[in-house]
Amino acid sequence: MQAWFGKKIKELRSSLQKFDFSKGCQRCAYFILNNMEKTSVINLQEEMGFDKDVGKVFPSQLIFQLHNTCNYECIMCSGEYSSSIRKNRDNLPAKHNVYDKKFADSMITFIKHARVIEFIGGEPFLVSVNYELLNHIVTHNPNCRVAFVTNGSVYNSKIEKILKQLPNVDVCVSIDSINPDTYALIRKNGSLKNVLNNIANFQKICSVGSIAVCPIIQNIYEMHDIINYCKSINVDLWINTVEGSLGSRDVKRCSSVPEFRLQRLSTDEKQRVKKYLLSQTHPDKYQQKLKSLIEFIDL
């Protein structure tokens, strides 16, 4: 309630009405100023029709990112988003989870008014409080759109039971490669075979709307293969641009993590990458994503 109705959010709204993005919205300003509006939150609001909901008392969209619990140690990620990295790479104690059943119960009023509720992580299917929230959604607003961004490693009867009670579920699975060797290199602790099987399981009971990819040095020459896989299972492609560690703008180098940032490629190699990306033509919805990726490489 404080986050939505309190003093800080009122100041932010007042600033945005004056087109002042300096109070916490600098990232959207960065994308807009670099002609990358399609990556900004503002574009998402328009695509989802949330711009029509301006003035509503409660938010139309809720995004829950409540803990860093994750079984993967992806090379481009950090301990902020992965408990496994925090433990094994950063050698830091586990983050305390301040979100409990009491918090979940306090969200019922917001859940009742939401049109879209999204769960991200960490790995959302491993965060225990998410199941408290999902039970509230089933009880109070089962017809809203419920979205998950997941690494696809977790699928069980508990998940299946909840998803079957929600008629409007969309799952986005992050894979980064459909080559088992590349996948194992990027997504440490993961099994591509397991994830592909789980994608098939998800598709039996809900929509797998998109496959998410972080284009990095290790997989950039596999982008056409990934798109062909998306076409084969009839899903969209979502590209996450990686400027540094996902947990920090300043990459803290360590010997166990190879360089992955496309910006660190030489000018000649960037040209080779762009030539490769333009070497095949795909349906427009995929081609536009490649165009945006090329624009990012040129920055």
Check the CA dihedral 38-251-247-208 and report its sign.
positive
What's the mean pLDDT in 275-282?
A: 96
Rg (Cα) of the chain, in Å, rounded? 20
Q: What is the pLDDT of residue 135?
A: 97
Q: What is the pLDDT of residue 51?
A: 59
Q: What is the pLDDT of residue 299?
A: 74
Q: Is the pLDDT of residue 28 over 50?
A: yes
- CA separation for the pair 131, 101 (Å, rounded): 10
Check the CA dihedral 202-206-207-212 and report its sign.
negative
State pTM to two decimals.
Answer: 0.88
Check the CA dihedral 263-269-272-273 and report its sign.
negative
Please write the tens of the pLDDT for every residue from 203-261.
999 999 999 999 999 999 999 999 999 999 999 999 998 876 654 444 455 667 889 99
Please write the tens of the pLDDT for every residue from 48-99.
565 566 557 899 999 999 999 999 999 999 999 999 999 999 999 999 999 9
- CA separation for the pair 214, 76 (Å, rounded): 8
Please write the tens of the pLDDT for every residue from 100-132.
999 999 999 999 999 999 999 999 999 999 999
Spatial CB neighbours of 135, under 8 Å, sequence gap ≥ 6: 162
What's the mean pLDDT in 10-25?
A: 92
Among the listed residues 96, 137, 100, the one whose alpha carbon sits nearest the alpha carbon of residue 118? 137
Q: Which domains does the chain have, with CATH numbers?
A: 1-61 (no CATH), 65-260 (3.20.20.70)
